[in-house]
Every structure is written in structure tokens, then in C-alpha cells.
């Protein structure tokens, strides 16, 4: 009877781990495997249960942090950072004077007009050739060449 009990726990852990991927059921399953083999050896159920709890606790405490770092590593996306843009390093000309973020202007690059700002100390006047440094959405950050 204990053999079926430990197998049932193992199967529940497999299903739970597949659906959650939290790496908790995995280690509970490891404890149930050890208890299963003890049940096959006709060890008393009380001993099986204690070994199950100890093995589960030890593997959770010692291995789960490592497993989480290994499999849950996701790159951090900084949404405030400029997105990579195919317009970076392209050149064009100022159509309307380009100032700071409070005073955006327009630039023309490859025949298209874009909203632009600069961190240049003074506004960039119309007709000046510019280079795109970065883009935030559809706003380009430019500097004079």
C-alpha cells in the first residue's frame, strides 16, 4: 500500500511541475522516490515518512536556489532605455529647429520626416546636417555633424 502512496505522490508532483515550473514539486518528487525505494525494501511507513520529509527539505533548501538561477534566468528589460533602432547612426537634415525635450523639432531622413530632440547645448537650426544617436519610440535623439 505504501508503494502506491509514494507512486501517487510522484505522479502528482510530475504533473504539478509540468504545469507550474516552480521547482518545488520536483524536490517533493525526489523525496517520494527515496521513500518509494524504502517501501520496496519493506521499511516501516513511519521511517519512510521521516526520510521523505528530510530528503525533500534538504533538496529544496540546497538545490532549488541553484536550479532557479540556472533555469529562471531572464534578461532584464529596461523599458526606459532606448530601443535598438535601425535609424541609429543615420544622417539627415533639420526641417524645423530641434531643441531639448520641451522644444522638439523635425528632421528629414531618407525622405521621411521624424520628430526629433537633442541634448546639444543650443537648438539645431534648419538645414544643418544631423546624425541619429538613439530613438525613444518615434522620437529621435540627434546631434549636429
The CA R_g of the chain, rounded to the nearest whole Å, is 31
pLDDT reported for residue 79: 65
Quick check: helix, strand or coil at residue 81?
coil
Q: For 59-113, write each residue's pLDDT tens digit.
A: 999 998 888 888 766 666 676 666 667 888 999 999 999 999 999 999 999 999 9
Q: Could you tell me if 33 and 12 are in contact, meaning their C-beta atoms sit under 8 angstroms apart? A: no
Confidence class of residue 21 from pLDDT cuts 50, 70 and 90? confident
Identify the structural domains of the chain with CATH numbers, from first to last. Answer: 2-71 (no CATH), 91-144 (2.40.50.140)
Give the three cell numbers for residue 67: 536550479
pLDDT reported for residue 83: 63
pLDDT reported for residue 86: 83
The total number of residues shown for the chain amounts to 145
Q: Could you tell me if 48 and 38 are in contact, meaning their C-beta atoms sit under 8 angstroms apart? A: yes
Amino acid at each position: 500500500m505504501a508503494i502506491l502512496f509514494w507512486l501517487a505522490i510522484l505522479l502528482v508532483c510530475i504533473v504539478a511541475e509540468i504545469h507550474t515550473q516552480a521547482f518545488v514539486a520536483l524536490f517533493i518528487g525526489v523525496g517520494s522516490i527515496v521513500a518509494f525505494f524504502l517501501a520496496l525494501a519493506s521499511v516501516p511507513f513511519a521511517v519512510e515518512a521521516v526520510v521523505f520529509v528530510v530528503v525533500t527539505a534538504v533538496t529544496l533548501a540546497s538545490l532549488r536556489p541553484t536550479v532557479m538561477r540556472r533555469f529562471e534566468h531572464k534578461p532584464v528589460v529596461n523599458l526606459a532605455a532606448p530601443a535598438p533602432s535601425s535609424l541609429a547612426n543615420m544622417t539627415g537634415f533639420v526641417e524645423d529647429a530641434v531643441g531639448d525635450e520641451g522644444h522638439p523639432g523635425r528632421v528629414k531622413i531618407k525622405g521621411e520626416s521624424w520628430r526629433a530632440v537633442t541634448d546639444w547645448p543650443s537648438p539645431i537650426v534648419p538645414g544643418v546636417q544631423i546624425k541619429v544617436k538613439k530613438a525613444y519610440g518615434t522620437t529621435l535623439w540627434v546631434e549636429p555633424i
